[in-house]
Structure formats: structure tokens, C-alpha cells
Amino acid sequence: MLDTILVTGGAGFIGSNFILSWMESVGSPVLNLDLLTYAGNPANLSALNGDLRYQLTRGDICDAELVGALLAKHRPRAIVHFAAESHVDRSIASPEAFLRTNVHGTFILLDQAKQYWSGLSEADRNAFRFLHVSTDEVHGSLGKDDPAFTETTAYAPNSPYAASKAASDHLVRAYHHTWGLPVLTTNCSNNYGPFQFPEKLMPLMILNALEGKPLPVYGDGKNVRDWLFVDDHCAAIRAVMQNGRIGETYNIGGNSERTNLDVVTTICDLVDEMSPRDGAGPRRELITYVKDRPGHDRRYAIDASKIARELGWQPSERFESGLRRTVRWYLDHSSWVDSVRTGDYLKWIAENYTERAEL
């Protein structure tokens, strides 16, 4: 039987955490295909240096010839597809890259996977899985008292990012229903934890708070997100890979709805505790309200009862303990932070936050 898995985007935040946890919990070989754009960092996986079970190939999922060659050479038993442009603000500023990677790239990957899967033996075809990692944002925005998203909630994406992920979800579904490709789709809530690129809310606030910089909060700060610790997400993906029903979608959530302002104030308090400033006021004083992003969804919430019922998965990390672990990680890994905050990153922060009008 085939043993290797192909992970796309495995040098990014969730992908690198998934590979590290896979090596620890499963241990079978991993081929990581990653273009290593600004958010892909091979140093995230430095713990695997010299491990013959792990191989990184720098390449583009839009390159059909490369993808086909890798499948033919490494003969994976599964593809776990993380590779995506994922930052909503960047999709508003420049949507084309999101269409290329998230839509066209997923199409290329599916098409090459179909050709590869069709040529396998019957036993290997039956065992093969294509797992597509997606987002709750495909469902749009919820009102304060609306029920949480389920797997059957209608799609209503409101940002170019969400629309590109919705399109990729539909392509995955189509390849299953048209050609029988054994696919699985997961839609997760907001992830947090180690190795997250510091343009995202939590690491941005942690690092700005640590450095005494303004903490830019969009609008009134009352937008609500469900927060999922990345290790819990990785465990859920493994459960879906192993026992999920082919062709099905599974929601993965953290059961931790919080307003953005609640998240930021909690981060302030944790940084004050872990890295106190002599003679300076509390970090909460750094909070600055800035002009809201266009089309900012008000609330996301995930109903993860299906994966709990069918596969026995539930999040194990409480929000308070997970956020404490996350803050501690960023404070203890200043060299990693310095290595990813390049000139391009600083330019982006200036364009998106520093130059955004205060309220």
C-alpha cells in the first residue's frame, strides 16, 4: 500500500503545524509542495532537518507539469491541500493572486490528482483521499442571534478571499460528483497558535503590544469570530482523513466565540503579565480604533456537531489556555519573528494600518 502524503502549502502557518503534528502522531513520509511566498517559511519545519521522512519541494500548485511529475514519482496515498492566499485585507487590495492560487491552483491540483488516482490499482484507488482545507468565511456573515454555520448553510462569500475559497470548494465537490475522486472538505474557523504570520490579528497585536506600538482595531471592535487552536485543527484533519465519509464536508470549530476587542484586551493583559513595562501604563492604552475594512463580516460561528458525532473529535484547548500558549510562543521566539518581518511585510503594515485613518 502507498504510504507518503503530499501536503500543499506545508511551510505556511497551519500547514507547518500539521506536518509537525503528523510526524509526531503518524510518522509516515511527507512531501511538502510550497511556493514559499511571503507567508511560507521553511524554518517553521527546521525541527525536521535531516529527517529522511520529510521532503520540501519549492513549486507552484498552478504548475500542472510539476504537480503531475511529483505525483508520479512519490505516489502519495493522500493529498492534504492547504496552499492558499488567505488574508482578507490583501484580497481587498489585490484580488487577482487569490483567484490564481485558490481557484486555478485548486483546479490544477484536482485535475492532476484525478489523472494520478485513475491509474492506481483498485486497492490504492479505494484508499486514496484528497482533503481540501477551507474556511467558514464562505458562508458570509451572521447576525448576533443567528444559528452557527452548519455544513448545509448556503454559501454567501463577502470578500474576494471568501469568494475564491467558495469557488475552490465547489470545484472539489464537482470532481467528486463528476469523476468520483475521493474528496473530503473541511471548513474551519479562525486559527491561532505558533508560526502564524504576523499580519494576522493575534500575532500583530502580540508583537505591537510587546513593542509599545498602537494596536489597530477595525471599526468598533465588536466583530465576532470563533477561535480554533491550530493543534486542535490538525487533529481534526487527521480524524477526517482517517474516518471521514468520502464526498462529505466537516465543520471544524473551537467553540470559542469572542469579539475582536475581547481578543485584543486579553492579549494586552497577557503581555503585561509576561513582559511588564517599568513605568509604562497597561497595554490596553495602546488600542486605537481605525476605519473598518470594506465589507467586514460581523460574525462567524461554527457548528461542529457533525464531526463530533461522526468522528468523535472535539477541541481540547480552551481559548484562555491556547491564547496564553500563543503569547508565550511569540515572546520566546523573537528570532523567528525578526526573520519573517521583512521589508515587504513592513510596507504592507504601513499601507494597511499605519495609513488607515483613525476614528
Other C-beta atoms within 10 Å of 36: how many?
Answer: 14
Q: Is 137 one of the catalytic residues?
A: yes
Adjacent-strand bridge partners of 284: none
- Are 117 and 167 contacting, i.e. CB atoms less than 8 angstroms apart? no
How far apart, in Å, do the first and last CA atoms of the chain sit? 60
C-alpha 135/C-alpha 168 separation (Å) is: 11
CA angle 44, 92, 219 (to 5 degrees): 95
Q: Which of 54, 85, 89, 161 is catalytic?
A: 161
C-alpha 75/C-alpha 85 separation (Å) is: 26
Spatial neighbors of 130 by CB under 8 A, at least 6 apart, are: 78, 79, 81, 110, 113, 117, 172, 175, 181, 182, 183, 184
Q: Which of 85, 137, 226, 232 is catalytic?
A: 137
Q: Which of 34, 85, 89, 136 is catalytic?
A: 136
Q: Cell 468523535 sits at which residue?
A: 312
Task: Give the 3-state secondary structure percentages of the chain, helix then strand then coil, rounded to 5.
Answer: 50, 15, 35
Q: Is 345 one of the catalytic residues?
A: no
Other C-beta atoms within 10 Å of 183: how many?
Answer: 25
**Which among 177, 225, 181, 183 is positioned nearest to 201, based on CA atoms?**
225
C-alpha 215/C-alpha 206 separation (Å) is: 9
Q: Is 257 one of the catalytic residues?
A: no
**Residue 158 grid coordinates:** 463577502
Other C-beta atoms within 10 Å of 258: how many?
Answer: 18
**Residue 266 grid coordinates:** 486579553
Sign of CA dihedral 145, 148, 149, 154: negative
**Which among 326, 319, 314, 328 is positioned nearest to 227, based on CA atoms?**
319
- Which run of H or of E encompasses 172? helix 160-179
Helix, strand or coil for residue 225? strand
Which residues have a catalytic role annotated? 136-137, 161
